[in-house]
């Protein structure tokens, strides 16, 4: 069995951490940069569900620490390589002048899923930058 991978990505957004944080926990804001539908209950143990055109991501919030940190599990029910729950996404928000540095770490990705998630997170984070930083 292959060893799980860790994906990291960092961007800067021209908005304060509290404003960026809301785009991680409020369904109406999250779908402006990620997915087409979301059901979020942003508290430890709460639902994290996001539908994309080709996938339905399901997980649970592990940690919600406004305005600095969000952690949730990530998986796709019925997907043999990335079933619901085994991988975890951590997003750290750090104030940087009048903006925010966003550091994303996706833990425990199957190696065969690393390339598509690397491209996917790069695209999603750029969408977050455009949306939250406007």
DSSP lists the bridge partners of residue 109 as 5
- The CATH number covering residue 80 comes to 3.30.530.20
Tokens 């998630």 correspond to what residue? 117
pLDDT at 2: 66
Query: What are 2-49's pLDDT values in tens digits?
Result: 678 899 999 999 999 999 999 999 999 999 999 999 999 999 999 999
Q: Which domain holds residue 73?
A: 5-132
29-32 CB contacts, 8 Å cutoff, 24+ apart = 29/131, 32/131
Query: What are 59-100's pLDDT values in tens digits?
Result: 999 999 999 999 999 998 888 777 776 799 999 999 999 999
Q: Specify the number of domains making up the chain.
A: 1
pLDDT at 53: 86
- The percent of residues in the chain predicted with pLDDT above 70, rounded, is 97
Q: Please state the φ and ψ torsions of residue 88, each to the nearest 5 degrees.
A: -130, 135
CA distance 92 to 126: 16
Tokens 């996001």 correspond to what residue? 50
Position 1 pLDDT exceeds 60:
no
Cα torsion 105, 106, 111, 115 to 10°: value is -80
């Amino acid at each position: 069995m292959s060893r799980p991978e860790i994906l990291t990505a960092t961007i800067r957004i021209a908005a304060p951490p509290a404003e960026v944080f809301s785009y991680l926990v409020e369904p109406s804001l999250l779908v402006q940069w990620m997915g087409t539908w979301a059901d979020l209950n942003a508290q430890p143990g709460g639902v994290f569900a996001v539908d994309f055109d080709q996938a339905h991501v399901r997980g649970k919030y592990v940690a919600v620490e406004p305005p600095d940190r969000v952690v949730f599990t990530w998986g796709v029910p019925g997907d043999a390589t990335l079933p619901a729950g085994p991988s975890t996404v951590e997003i750290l928000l750090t104030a940087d002048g009048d903006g925010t540095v966003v550091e994303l770490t996706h833990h425990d990705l199957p190696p065969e899923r690393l390339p598509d998630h690397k491209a996917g997170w790069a695209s999603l984070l750029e969408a977050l930058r455009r949306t939250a930083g406007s």
